[in-house]
Chains A and B, each alone.
Chain A
């Protein structure tokens, strides 16, 4: 803004000394707590030279872990996206009893520890669980196999897409969809030609975050996967295995792949935020914060 120049008296906290000290301390902490871990990954990954790095990545177990992680994401993310869109459509474009409860339930996975999630899945599909014996009888393997990993990932990332879409679609209201319907468009047509173009960046934003979390999930997957090297080890689990094998360089080589994914995610996030995604305030996180100066009729 043009009027924030020198011609304006100092705002709260603009005192020169205070400003300099605060800025220094904060940036130092950012460097120590956020940047340093990133740097140490890169340094450690190449600590035994680029040849060892390449060898670590090309190791069959590592390659299998990468493949498993990608496959998991390829299944879990589309399911999650479909769910997120459906939930947002139901919640923002319709009224039905129990809507508030549903909104709360959708957000539950964010408050629950991934370990709790993993343990819970054991008691559904494990031998001690609800369906354990039935599944064993039918010779269907869910736990310690791909389906279990996918299910646990879906739990952990459940709310990602929905929570990006719901506030946005709430803010956009129903006028456009009602107009399209009144002009004779079908439900699908309305969604694809009217709703989707207005939410595409937020949708993509949710998908990016969801994907990043699926590929990086550790706690929940570590409970349900069984940690079988070269079979049910996703990349994060493989990193743990290498690290505990005292193969730090190998672990960091594998970790550097996920760190790159994290950086790509951050770049995508910034790019999408420039297009307006992720900017709508979340009712759950900021309940009422937007009503600090409420409108009241006299």
Chain B
């Protein structure tokens, strides 16, 4: 079940979601500091030409991160 939960990685461009939880304990600290707090809305803003990294909008500003980092931000169903 854990595996099938949607993450920021699975969003389409322009699509939004609500952050549910962060799965990587160490990386989550960095993400939390950058404002990726459970309950906040995230929107997938763009993808780099090669598909990775991506930019997301959270807390009214743009954040760029790699796909495997985005995969640790799980979304509420």
| A and B interact | no
Spell out B's residues near A (CB within 8 Å): none
Residues of chain A whose beta carbon lies under 8 Å from any beta carbon of chain B? none
